[in-house]
Structure 1
Amino acid sequence: MEIVVTGRHLQIKPKFRDVVESKMNRVTAIAPDTQRVQVVLSHEGNPRLADTAMRVELTVIAGRTVVRAEASSSDDLSALDLALDKLTLRLRRTRDRRKDHHRGYEAAAAVDLGVVEPETDEVVAEYEPLTPAQAVAGDLEPGESVEVQVGDTPIVIRRKLHIAEPMTIDEALYEMELIGHDFFLFVNSETNRPSVVYRRHGYSYGVFEIESQKNL
Structure 2
Amino acid sequence: MEIVVVGRHVEVPDRFRRHVEDKLSKVTQLAPRAQRVDVELTHERNPRQSEVSERVELTVRGKGPVIRAEASADDEYAALDVATTKLLERLRRARDRSKDHHRGPTAPPVDVLPPEPEPTPEPEPAPPALGEAVESTWGDSPVVIREKMHQALPMTLDDALYEMEMVGHDFYLFIDAETALPSVAYRRRGWSYGVIRLDAPVATTAHAV
TM bin (shorter chain): 0.7 to 0.9
Alpha-carbon shift at residue 111 of structure 1 (Å): 4.6
Equivalent positions of 1:198-213 (< 5 A) are 198-212=186-200
Aligned residues: 196
- The one-letter code matched in structure 1 to 2:3 is I
CA distance change for structure 1 residues 117 and 72 in 2, over 3 Å: closer, same or farther? Answer: farther
Deviates more, 1:104-113 or 1:165-174: 104-113
Aligned to 1:145: 133
Compute the displacement of 1:148 (Å). Answer: 2.2
- Give runs of aligned pairs for residues 5-154 of structure 1, distance below 5 A: 5-101=5-101, 104-109=102-107, 111-115=109-113, 132=125, 136-137=127-128, 140-141=129-130, 143-154=131-142
Q: Which amino acid aligns with 2:113?
A: V
- 1:202 Cα shift? 3.4
**What residue is the counterpart of 2:175 in the other structure?**
187
Give 1:50 deviation, angstroms: 1.9
CA deviation after TM superposition for structure 1 residue 211, in Å: 2.4
Secondary structure of 1:79's aligned partner: helix
The CA distance in 2 between the partners of 1:44 and 1:176, in whole Å, is: 26
**Matching residue within 152, 161, 172 for 1:173:** 161
Q: Name the stretch that deviates more: 20-29 or 80-89.
A: 20-29
- State the 1:107 CA deviation: 0.7
- Cα RMSD between the aligned structures? 2.4
Q: Given that residues 110 and 195 in structure 2 are in contact (C-alpha distance below 8 angstroms), is that contact kept between their aligned partners in structure 1?
A: no
Answer yes or no: is the 8 Å Cα contact 1:68–1:87 preserved in 2: yes
Partner residue, 2:151: 163
Where relative contact order (Cα < 8 A, 6+ residues apart) is larger, the structure is 2
1:175-196 CA distances to partner (integer Å, 9 max, x unpaired)? 1011000111111111011111
Structure 2 residue matching 1:197: 3-state secondary structure: strand
Name the CA distance, whole Å, in 2 between partners of 1:34 and 1:148: 32
- 1:162 Cα deviation from its structure 2 partner: 1.5
Instruction: Provide the secondary structure at the position in 2 that maps to 1:40.
Output: strand
